A and B are shown apart, each in its own frame.
Chain A
Amino acid sequence: MESTPLDTQTTVESDVATRPEEASLPPLEWMQRNLFGGGQGSVGAVARSTSLTVVFTLLGLFAYQQLLNFIFSEETNWNSVRVNLRLLFTQAYPESDYHRIWVSLGLVLVLSGVGLGLMKVGRGISMKKIATWCVGWGVLVVLGVFLRQPSVLVGDDGTPLLADADGVALARDGLGALVYLDGSPAPSQGLSVVRESYGDAISSRSGWLLIGLVLIGIAAAIWFGFGDKRRRSTFLPAIPLSIAGIGALISTTWWYNWGNYTFSTDEETGVSGFNFEPSVKVAETTRNPWTIMFVVLVVAYVLGRRLRGRAFEQHFRGLLILGWFLAPFVTFFAILRGPEFDWAYVAAVDLPLWLAFGIGGAALMWALTKPGIGEVGRVLAVLVLAIAAFTWIAAFFGWFGMLQKVRLSFLLLGLTALLAPNFIGEARQRLTLVYVWTGTITIFHVMATIINTPSSIEVPTEDFAGGFMVSIYVTVFTLLFSFPLGVLLALARTSRLPIFRLLATVYIEAFRGVPLITMLFFFTVFVNLFLPEGMELALLAAVTIAFVLFSAAYLAENVRGGLQAVRRGQYEASDALGLTTVQRTGFIVLPQGLRVSIPPLVGQAIATYKETSLLAIVGVFDFLRMARDIIPNQPEFLGERKPALLFICVIYFVGAYAMSKYSQRLEKNLGVGER
């Protein structure tokens, strides 16, 4: 059916005009219907519904009260978190090198900002939703003001004041024993802490009360000021709103003094230790960088918005993905490795090797993809693989010395050469393989060089990184390497070749059958015993490898599930068109299979992120270890565990929740579940 644009428009308009208004229920009626069994007619239903609502509301309120009691208790020393923020996030990273972290963060923010700018935006957040948020948070705050028990009164010595069973006040004598104020000994039983009066407690929280009431007021203004229709059809853009939120958070550094606590070496005594500097506030040292970071984010976002809809947008997206792929390597290099290259060695060994493999490999790929090369190509590819295998065998028997890098390069060369038959054709296709090869070998050689270069950054502990930074790095590198490995394992397990199937199955079952923590210990303790003499695996490298291998086994099963969801007809259609197995897998099966596996894959990513807290147990100074071991052992905060543990819970939650939200968005954009 052909219809003119005008026609379409009128139809749409009349559609809107005739669609019946669905008025949302007034709050009281909503509560009656959903919470107290209203509208069901029977007394039994009302009683059941009401009692369930009451019981579970009371349970929720009790949990909320206990949480508030802990957070706001005078006994909870939040200074232990506040002054240890730097320690929690970057361990003892030297302050003089902090600009490296800022530059890296800036790079990530540029990528994020541009990405957010380019993102397809939905309608945004409706006023109705904002009203719901405001009323929800407002009620929570107001409830909290009245729910929280009055504060415990604390004496000059910092301990809570106590009273006997009759409420008579007690004090501590010079030896710390409890006595009545007249000096007579206190009873040992029936003691209770002295709290401020309820009225004092409420009046001291008037600020909070005001915030709660303002939020409820905003909600009421939206609810009654806007009509029902406008409430549902007025939207605020979500991304600028979130950026504004981040801005508000950063602005706190200008008016709130977050603390400071550093690891430093005393110049005179040469003793390293934690250095409590109450006069220097983190806010003063970080508010300028944070403000710059915010400006960077905003500029990048605006840039992204500008680029949206331009002709070269698609290319730019490709560039962005490449940027995200390289960012972990670049920032890792920037943060953790001082560029202290042995230039003579680089010029004499690294550079020539890279050039030899790069140019020689490129020429080989070009030759192998020549049209009409036929069987000769396959034979040559297998020959290269055989050379690679031979170098490993030679290493095993110690026939001749060779850099590990060279052996790995041969292996990569052989594997890439096996792909060559799929790229036979005109120059464009042949060049694709040449680019793939030069890209692979360049990344590999740069990484190898970085790893082989000792770091110039000195930190007091054995590991060069710690705190939340190390959790993030282990997560990112685990995902980056375990994802391709998992996909390969899944393909191998569904392969027609029995040897691949067998190996993949054995691998997956073996790694899924061992607890992660055991694997971590195994890798930190045993692997070094098996390595050739003179070679040693750093603790962090060992645990990252353990994480990669472990995570890959699980990812493989998730991907396999996705692959099995690809219908048989898709294989048949690909075969009927004459696609090779590699082409069929790359163009048809994987794109469809991975789409289906997004939810479990993100689940696995989140699990990996949370599991990095196991690093604390194998001796890495990670986020959890900071909170559990380091802070409670500082002289100022002896035994102060709970605040920091709650704090890291919140930070872990924020990261996991963000990932989960992003995956929901991804699923929607890729149309998972729709065919």
Chain B
Amino acid sequence: MSINDATVAVTEELATRDDMIICEGVDKWYGDFQALKGVSATIKEREVVVVLGPSGSGKSTWIRCINRLEQHQSGRIIVDGVELTNDTRNIEKIRSEVGMVFQQFNLFPHLTVRDNITLAPIWVRKKPRGEAEALATQLLERVGIPEQADKFPGQLSGGQQQRVAIARALAMEPRVMLFDEPTSALDPEMIKEVLDVMKDLARGGMTMIVVTHEMGFAREVADRIIFMESGEIVETGTPEHFFTSPEEDRTKLFLSQIL
């Protein structure tokens, strides 16, 4: 079976799944600067999409638009059948369905690891405290640091903090996880522990959009790679297609610079 056949097979299988995120012609300006130029993409259920591109290409802006940390000015974004509009109910609903992991972790420094994780389940999902704490313990085991539950974020290493951040997002039992350069602020020896957790998550069938510079991760885990530059989606394809036979010149240039 040739690479192209495999791509076709995957694409066909994907086509049968439900749409999780639909973006249609999303535009975003910062003042006069247009950060997103008509971005359109559809992400299927259980799909892992890696977004690549040079810095300033709009990757982060795009995924931040998906849970309304940034507001797009035109186009449509539909998450799990709910369209993002100014209606706060929709925004609240989408935010509780979409988990996000940040480059700088953004853990709450004044709360213990356990409280970081249980805060949103208790107050947003309205879970009983006992249940939320059991879930926190379970998630900390899943990310490999159950013994750190009573520490404060400042007492943990960067890799541990990022794993707590992932556990915190997962505690909301989201249907989609967004990763905004999750390993960029980490020391090299800590990157692997975070990527392992993400791989594990991908194998578990989570729908994921990952903005990253980790090519190894993209090649191994991604179902699809989206390449962006200057606020546009330049090329989309499977990892095999993307890394071995890119079509666009800009993609080739990018790959030649980083590989």
Please report A residues at the B interface, Cβ cutoff 8 Å: 371, 422, 424-426, 428-429, 567, 569-570, 572-573, 575-580, 583, 587-588, 591-592, 595, 674-675
Contacts and interface: CB of A to CB of B under 8 A. Distances in A.
Contact of B108 (A429, A573, A578): A573
B69 A577 contact: no
Given A577-B95, A587-B123, A595-B110, 4 more contacts: A567-B106, A572-B69, A576-B69, A576-B100
A98 B123 CA distance: 50
B194 interface: no
A575 B64 CA distance: 11
B104 interface: yes
A578 B110 contact: no
Contact of B102 (A572, A580, A591): A572
A424 B123 CA distance: 9
B95 A575 contact: yes
Contacts of B69: 572, 575-576
Interface in B218-239: none
A567 B105 CA distance: 12
A570 B165 CA distance: 12
Nearest to B97: A578
B126 A425 contact: yes
Given A371-B126, A569-B102, A675-B154, A577 B172 contact: yes
B126 A424 contact: yes
Given A572-B69, A576-B67, A674-B154, A428 B106 contact: no
A371 B125 CA distance: 11
A575 B71 CA distance: 13
B81 interface: no
B124 interface: yes
Contact of A577 (B68, B110, B124, B128): B124
A591 B116 CA distance: 14
B96 interface: yes
Contacts of B109: 592, 675
A571 B108 CA distance: 10
12 contacts: A424-B126, A425-B126, A426-B126, A428-B128, A428-B129, A573-B107, A576-B98, A576-B99, A578-B92, A587-B108, A587-B119, A592-B109
Contacts of B110: 591-592, 595
Contacts of B128: 426, 428
Given A572-B102, A573-B102, A675-B109, A578 B126 contact: no
A592 B106 CA distance: 13
A591 B152 CA distance: 15
B168 interface: yes
A576 B168 CA distance: 11
Sorted from nearest, which 5 A-B pairs have the closest CB atoms?
Answer: A425-B126, A573-B106, A569-B106, A578-B96, A577-B120
Contacts of A575: 67-69, 95
A305 B234 CA distance: 68
Give the secondary structure class of A's interface: helix
B104 A569 contact: yes
Contacts of A591: 110
Contacts of A578: 92, 95-96, 120, 124, 172
Nearest to B104: A569
A674 B123 CA distance: 28
B interface residue count range (under 10 / 10 to 19 / 20 to 34 / 35 or more):
20 to 34
A7 B245 CA distance: 55
B215 to A, nearest CB: 26
Interface in B150-176: 154, 168-169, 172
A424 B127 CA distance: 11
Given A426-B128, A674-B154, A572 B106 contact: yes
Contacts of B102: 569, 572-573, 576
Interface of B: 67-69, 92, 95-96, 98-100, 102, 104, 106-110, 119-120, 123-124, 126, 128-129, 154, 168-169, 172
B197 to A, nearest CB: 18
A298 to B, nearest CB: 35
A579 B124 contact: yes
Contacts of B67: 575-576
Contacts, number: 69
A428 B123 CA distance: 11
Given A576-B95, A576-B99, A577-B168, A588 B108 contact: yes
A674 B172 CA distance: 29
A591 B109 CA distance: 10
A579 to B, nearest CB: 6
Contacts of A572: 69, 102, 106
Nearest to B153: A675
Contacts of A567: 106
Contacts of A371: 126
A231 to B, nearest CB: 33
Contacts of A573: 100, 102, 106-108
Contact of A422 (B106, B120, B123, B169): B123
Nearest to B121: A577
A579 B99 contact: no
Contacts of A587: 108, 119, 123
Contacts of B169: 576-577
Contacts of B124: 577-579, 583
Contacts of B100: 573, 576
Q: Which of A569, A570, A576, A580 has the most CB of B within 10 A?
A: A576
A575 B108 CA distance: 13
A567 B102 CA distance: 13
Contacts of B168: 577
A428 B154 CA distance: 31
A661 B154 CA distance: 26
B90 to A, nearest CB: 12
A630 B67 CA distance: 69
Contacts of B123: 422, 429, 579, 583, 587
A576 B100 CA distance: 6
Contacts of A579: 119-120, 123-124
B45 to A, nearest CB: 21
A68 to B, nearest CB: 50
A428 B122 CA distance: 11
B126 A570 contact: no
Nearest to A594: B110
A425 B129 CA distance: 12
A95 B6 CA distance: 98
A572 B60 CA distance: 13
Nearest to B98: A576
A570 B108 contact: yes
A423 to B, nearest CB: 9
Contacts of A580: 92
Contacts of A576: 67, 69, 95, 98-100, 102, 169
A585 to B, nearest CB: 12
B119 A577 contact: yes
Contacts of A425: 126
A371 B119 CA distance: 19
Contacts of A429: 123, 126
Contacts of B95: 575-578
Q: Which of B69, B154, B169 has the most CB of A within 10 A?
A: B69
A406 B108 CA distance: 41
B71 to A, nearest CB: 12
Contacts of B99: 576
A582 to B, nearest CB: 10
B238 to A, nearest CB: 29
Contacts of B119: 577, 579, 587
A588 B109 CA distance: 9
B124 to A, nearest CB: 5
A264 to B, nearest CB: 56
A577 to B, nearest CB: 4
A670 to B, nearest CB: 9
A428 B129 CA distance: 9
B257 to A, nearest CB: 29
Q: Which of B92, B104, B120 has the most CB of A within 10 A?
A: B120
Contacts of B108: 570, 573, 587-588, 592
